[in-house]
Structure 1
């Protein structure tokens, strides 16, 4: 019998747990899934929650039914990689033979005032609190900090749902800098149509209770501030002695094992995964393939076989712009833009299809019907 512990039941943790249960059952694998909440959170849709939309609730026990996975509810407060132990917030200690670390990333709150005065998408509850705050405002200004995909989607969603509010989007870089010219032009046009004030080339020095202070001293009044500018791994990983990079992500080898502790695998936003073109950035597009591959690597090791190397390439950059518009930039495997893109209703349909609930995927995984190879082929890899 081999005790396999999976930390985190987000997109990657759930995929890894279901896959590991399916692939290790015949070799005595016993999978335990640890999560702070009893429900699955669709993090890709938290900007919709913040804008006031109600999303379906998915209990973890229902998702894993029939897999043999044990669900343990608790927040992880300690990890001893040497002793193969995990400590929970209620004092319980769980031992493991193999561990898949899928606790994701947290908002980079190194700028003063972010923790105290800004909303983040750290969890569903905080998105709900932002929704309640926005709903209580009859007028006012909402400042969204961060010009990445999350910031753009959030600004558009809020502006569309609350036209009485003035939305200001602050970014260090040009919005859509990773897109081609045509896709970027559509993004700009939609934000302008929605009334979003975009300011680029700016840097925030401090978040105040009712304002954002820029480097240089300018104050921008804010009735609600949403911070989406950057993420990093949880301090838990570095504190456990695992090798991490400058953003506290666990450094893994070619089969997604920790380079310092080979009985620990890391996936998704929590892992620094290197490919020929560089380190993967945090997206569900790359996260679920890492989860499936880590589970397969673990299963191969338990069978005494040599795991295959992980290979991945991007295929698109899908961006929702409210409920009625979107832009999809198709990419090369290294995430550089191709000529092709979608916009408008066709892009909306595409975005909803690729970002729909992952529950059907988990259902297929239970039955062993989703090979990692399918993700590789969709990414254009040979």
Structure 2
């Protein structure tokens, strides 16, 4: 009898994993997701400003692939009996692919959970859109790519807003000199104020409190300063890191439970040289593809090939009419070369569209 492989989570990594597993192995594949739609997470800052997203029913995306879709919420995993507990019952598996992704971490700073919004889920983005209806001043916390994209999208789409970016690090510190200069020009053009090297110690209904004691007034706070993963893996007894991400070997297999694989943001993915890869769609798609290819080899009695991955670019949207393509080396360190302006915006749009094309046909080259 064919193995039953259950994939939990239908984000970028999980949906691709399910379809590739069904295509490349003889297993029976069940995909479990709490929503019946695929969410373009990399566009949620657009949704927050009122821009509609494409409707992508999961049933359509898995039609004809052999993947059985179960729309239900995972409430627990019993690795001893190999069962996935759902709100509506349970599923027994022979192998599990864990792909429950990540969400904004609002637990580390007092008041963030009560008063801040995020753009890590569709519900979060929709709630932010409602809050923005009566806002005049918005503070975006976190100077990473998510924060930069959210701040520029808000400022461009809503020129009536006063937008402020607050970050504990340096402004654009992960970019090259040319990249930072372009980012500064865009922020100046859009009127976005920047407070860098400013640690937030509390979020209040009326704004932020900094480590210096200063209060930064804001009607709405957007929290992008860090992400966390669901607690389900740790609660199940899988080996995890301090952030709750599943520890995996060079084939994306759990180091504690060989019948479990983990892909995407919920796993600590490392290259053969030990470099830990960042949470990103650009990371999860090619590494998921390689991981499932390795699984197919293992099921055919062959040794899987270790994950082999290198970075090429970082794509940053700066509103709909500007962008920044930062070229990087294999280890994700910035080179001085950049692409900017409308051409960069078009490249970013093509990349984002390409992710959905990949989800439709995950055998396409991903990296």
Q: Is 1:67 paired with 2:65?
A: yes
Q: Which residue of 2 aligns with 1:2?
A: 3
Which residue number corresponds to residue 131 of structure 2?
Answer: 133
What is the root-mean-square deviation of aligned Cα atoms in Å?
1.3
Equivalence for 1:344: 341
Cross-structure match for 1:107? 104
Give the corresponding residue for 2:306: 309
- Once residues 177 and 122 of structure 1 are traced to their aligned partners in structure 2, the CA distance between those partners, rounded to angstroms, is 22
Distance in 1 between the 2:334 and 2:354 partners? 26
What number of residue pairs does the alignment pair up? 364
Task: Tell me the residue number matched to 2:360.
Answer: 363
1:145 to 2:141 alignment: yes
Distance 2:348 2:274 in 1: 25
User: 61-70 or 72-81, which moves further after superposition?
Assistant: 72-81
Partner Cα distance (1:182, 1:272) in 2: 31
**Aligned partners of 1:191 and 1:320: how far apart in 2?**
12
Secondary structure at the residue paired with 1:216? Answer: coil
Q: In the alignment, is the contact (CA less than 8 A) between 2:48 and 2:125 conserved in 1?
A: yes
The secondary structure found in structure 1 opposite 2:133 is helix
Superposed CA offset, 1:199-233 (max 9, x none): 00011111112221111221111111110001122
Structure 1: how far apart are the matches of 2:92 and 2:259?
A: 12
User: In structure 1, what is the equivalent of residue 295 of structure 2?
Assistant: 298
Structure 1 residues 357 and 132, CA, compared in 2 at 3 Å: closer, same or farther? farther
Q: 1 CA distance for matches of 2:191 and 2:11?
A: 33
Q: Post-superposition shift, 1:357?
A: 5.1
- Per the alignment, residue 97 of structure 1 pairs with 94
Give 1:359 deviation, angstroms: 3.1
Distance in 1 (CA, whole Å) between partners of 2:97 and 2:193 is: 42
46, 51, 57: which is aligned to 1:48? 46
- SS of the aligned residue for 2:84 comes to strand
| Aligned counterpart for 2:254 among listed residues 234, 255, 258 | 258
Runs of 4+ with >6 A deviation:
none
Of residues 77, 83, 99 in structure 2, which corresponds to 1:79? 77
Q: CA deviation at 1:277?
A: 5.8
> Deviation of residue 12 (structure 1)?
0.7
Alignment of 1:232-311 (within 5 A): 232-275=228-271, 276=273, 278-311=275-308
Which ranges of structure 2 fall in alignment gaps of 5 or more residues? Answer: none
State the partner residue of 1:17.
Answer: 18
Deviation at 1:119, TM superposition (A): 0.7
Matched, 1:193 2:189: yes
Report the CA distance shift for 1:341/1:32 in structure 2 as closer, same or farther (over 3 A). Answer: same
TM-score, L = length of structure 1? 0.93
The unaligned stretches of length 5 or more in structure 1 are: none
CA contact (8 A) 2:320 2:345 kept: yes
Q: Secondary structure at the match of 1:131?
A: helix
Give TM-score, length-normalised by structure 2.
0.96
Give the one of 144, 158, 174 matched to 1:178.
Answer: 174
SS in 1 for 2:96: strand
Q: Which residue of 1 aligns with 2:213?
A: 217
Contact map agreement 1:49 1:55 (CA 8 A) in 2: yes
